[in-house]
Amino acid sequence: MAHQNASGTSTSLTRQGQSNSTGDARALYLKLFSGEMFKGFQHNAIARDLLMKRTLKNGKSLQFIYTGRTTSEFHTPGKPILGNSDGAPPVAEKTVTVDDLLISSAFLYNLDETLAHYDLRSEISRKIGYALAEKYDRLAFRAVTRGARSASPITKSNFVEPGGTQIRVGATTNDSDAYVPANLVNAFYDAAAALDEKGVSTDGRVAVLNARQYYELIQQTGDSGLVNRDSQGTARQSGNGIVEIAGIKIYKSMNIPFLGKYGTAYGGTTGVTAPTNTGSFVSVTPEDASGATTGINNDYGTNSELGAKSCGLIFQREAAGIVEAIGPQVQVTKGDVSVIYQGDVILGRLALGADYINPAAAVELYVGASAPSAF
């Protein structure tokens, strides 16, 4: 855009929001918002990289094929080889359906954006990304939890395939056992042995713990032998899978079912003392997300089915599958709609579904005398 300066000379005005100096002067600002939303989502959604993820097109569900073990037998001379006599290996399917569209939105009033001394769009975009990532991880981890409590999809007669695993943390009935590093380390080695015994690959084994559990663990270094002393500094503090026990990378998340809450609970008669002024977030309980819940087409269980004793997950990437029909996207109103309402509706959306695939690859940690029931 050209204009006359004080001396009458024609100069070119740079519009930072234009693409190639043409068109809408704010076009690139909207793209900046999109980038902020994706950044917020990717920073907070860890399940997406820890489990099997498939993209779904032109359909409502995706089929995962599960193949059981086969057998060996001695050949009889002169007998044609036409496959094992027992019909091995058995094959079963697991279908993961896409849930209804998941959205997070906000209305940004033009005047507010003009008067604000900070970038409203970037701030709102991050919060939308966080909201989508939080729901994404909660559903995925509930699918892993369900798998840890389930039997194998293979049900053919005379074939026994391993199901999920549940491991008790500690020996008392106190919820505080979930925070004791020695208890957790013992549970990790039990889980690793169980996965080995079930023939689960060592590649891609991870654990997801409550933040306080994680920080209790990483303090146990040096001569205690609980955590590799080579992991130091910010790498160890980040909770991004740097620390390992028994070959299992450890992550922290506030989105796992934990003692009847989402990642935050202070439990046990002699357990962890809750810090003061924590806010209402400590009281957030898992919502009902069974197949009977509006918008849900898979079964992630009700709050009562998840129970109050689950305290961590250990799994290999085959434990659950995530199907995405629409990946994280951002949409913003414009044109006449923006003129009428003098603002923009900013919408983040995605369409996903998750369910367990191979229960043998899923381990649930729990406290108390009895393991949580299957659902």
Q: pLDDT for 215-224, tens place per residue?
A: 888 877 544 4
Question: Residues 329-351: what's their mean pLDDT?
Answer: 88
- Of the two residues 324 and 284, the one the predictor is more confident about is 324
Q: Between the ranges 60-74, 79-93, 165-179, where is the mean pLDDT highest?
A: 165-179
pTM: predicted TM-score of the whole model, two decimal places: 0.83
Q: Does residue 165 fall inside a structural domain? A: yes
Q: What crossing angle do the helices spanning 120-148 and 27-44 adopt, rounded to 10°?
A: 30
CA distances from 23 to 2, 17, 19, 28, 31 (A): 14, 9, 7, 10, 14
The Cα 120–Cα 305 span in angstroms is 40
Output the pLDDT for position 11: 47
CA triple 375-194-208, angle to 5 deg:
65
Output the pLDDT for position 157: 79
Q: Does residue 83 fall inside a structural domain? A: no
Output the pLDDT for position 281: 58
How deeply is 276 buried, as exposed, middle or buried, from its count of CB atoms within 10 A (0-12, 13-18, 19+)? exposed
Output the pLDDT for position 2: 53
Q: Does residue 200 fall inside a structural domain? A: yes
Output the pLDDT for position 92: 80
Question: Coil, strand or helix: which one is 258?
Answer: strand
Output the pLDDT for position 5: 47
Q: Does residue 139 fall inside a structural domain? A: yes
pLDDT of 28 above 70? no
Output the pLDDT for position 118: 67
Q: Does residue 136 fall inside a structural domain? A: yes
Residues 359 and 150: beta-carbon distance below 8 Å? yes
pLDDT of 275 above 80? no
Dihedral over Cα of 126, 207, 272, 231: its sign: negative
Domain CATH code at residue 179: 3.30.2400.10
At residue 285 the predicted structure's pLDDT band, cuts being 50, 70 and 90, is confident
Q: Does residue 97 fall inside a structural domain? A: yes
Output the pLDDT for position 268: 56
Q: Does residue 233 fall inside a structural domain? A: yes
Q: What does the block give as tokens for 352?
A: 């996903």
Q: Does residue 372 fall inside a structural domain? A: no
The Cα 74–Cα 88 span in angstroms is 15
pLDDT of 227 above 60? no
Q: Residue 235's domain spans which residues?
A: 27-67+89-366
pLDDT of 108 above 70? yes
Lowest mean pLDDT among 11-25, 260-274, 357-371: 11-25
Question: Coil, strand or helix: which one is 144?
Answer: helix
The tally of domains found in the chain comes to 1
pLDDT of 30 above 60? no
At residue 307 the predicted structure's pLDDT band, cuts being 50, 70 and 90, is very high
Output the pLDDT for position 112: 82
Output the pLDDT for position 216: 86
Output the pLDDT for position 222: 47
Residues 122-169 have pLDDT tens digits of: 888 888 999 999 999 999 999 999 999 999 888 877 778 899 999 999
pLDDT of 239 above 80? no
Question: Residues 194-211: what's their mean pLDDT?
Answer: 95
